[in-house]
Structure 1
Amino acid sequence: MGYVIRPVQADEWEQLKELRLAALADPVARVAFNETFEEAVGRPDELWRQRAAQSDEGHTVVTFIGEAVDGVWGGMAVVLVETDEEAPQTHVVGVYVRPEHRGTGLARELLRAAVDWSWSLTEPVVERVRLWVHEENARAEAFYRRLGFTATGRTMADPKDPAADEREMALRRG
């Protein structure tokens, strides 16, 4: 199955909202998100419009989607520019692939787009791409390792469950 990997456009906020809600409702994927379905479903449409518009502008945040030949959005990955750290970096969040699109290579294509976009930035010049993986998400951790991400040793409590940890992984500019 082939996909067009591209940023969300401003007028696609409704599709963005639908995909995010599908991600939060997915019992397998829910552990990967800090927001709950109940929180997201109540958010005003203006928030979704802003998220889509920010992605379309592509300065500090981009949401990449994988669009199948039939127009269905099979998955997404969000990349945020962070300049408040020791060195400029990007942060990959919101990675999700619909169940019927898993195993197609879409997740790899989405992450490749996120990393390529990160390395293409000239202001700021990004030195690393980071992400957080829930301790119960061994499948995702193994996937990120295959793409070259390594554990940094940093952990933080899961905002939804302080008894659980999330682990930081990073990919350094090579």
Structure 2
Amino acid sequence: MTAPHARIRPATADDAAGLAALQATCWRQTYAGTVPEHVLADRERTGLEWWQRRLADPGGASTWVATRAGELLGFAVAEAVGPGDVRPLRLRALYVLAQEHGTGLGQALLDTAVGDAPCFLWVAEENPRAHAFYRRNGFEPDGAREIAERWGGVAGVRLVR
């Protein structure tokens, strides 16, 4: 399933620079006013190196990108975490550009990355759009909450299905 005129494919090492730029834009669109500026700036500074490492050695993770006319529009990262966690599959990230909200692109990425498998993810407590999206897809809070110091003290909640 894809949003109109979008293609979802596995990410390759050649996508590192594009993913770093896309992630920086999505984080600013999503977390401006919530995450301190210095945290966003630091993530932008280190993003390319992080993506180069992630795509060179993904471990148990799969990264998917959504493209249209060669432009990266969104991405999802899912990883097998094994039986010792709350679910064996974790959705580590799912972001789409703000102009793609409501187009079905996020849904297509979710469906591609984790399908309807039992899964968990962490989401910012103060992100009602994400909470509504995941609720529509069967995710519910399980009561776990953490303060992410590396994100400037943003509170996150764990969602499971």
Higher relative contact order (CA 8 A, sep 6+): 2
TM-score range, shorter chain: 0.7 to 0.9
| Secondary structure in 2 matching 1:165 | strand
Give the corresponding residue for 1:53: 56
CA distance in 1, matches of 2:45, 2:109: 27
Q: Is the Cα–Cα contact under 8 Å of residues 80 and 92 in structure 1 kept in the other structure?
A: yes
Alignment of 1:77 onto 2:76: yes
Q: Is the Cα–Cα contact under 8 Å of residues 8 and 65 in structure 1 kept in the other structure?
A: yes
| Secondary structure in 2 matching 1:52 | helix
Give the corresponding residue for 1:65: 65
Give the corresponding residue for 2:122: 132
The two structures have a TM-score, normalised by structure 1, of 0.75
How has the CA–CA distance of structure 1 residues 14 and 86 changed in structure 2, closer, same or farther, with 3 Å as cutoff?
A: closer
Q: Is the Cα–Cα contact under 8 Å of residues 29 and 96 in structure 1 kept in the other structure?
A: no
Unmatched 5+ stretches in structure 1: 120-127
Give the corresponding residue for 1:122: none
Deviations 1:62-89 (A, max 9, x none): 2211111x11111111112213734662
The two structures have a TM-score, normalised by structure 2, of 0.81
Q: Is the Cα–Cα contact under 8 Å of residues 24 and 36 in structure 1 kept in the other structure?
A: no
Between 78-87 and 90-99, the greater mean CA deviation after superposition: 78-87
Choose the corresponding residue for 2:159, options 144, 169, 173: 169
Give the corresponding residue for 2:42: 39
Q: Is the Cα–Cα contact under 8 Å of residues 81 and 88 in structure 1 kept in the other structure?
A: no
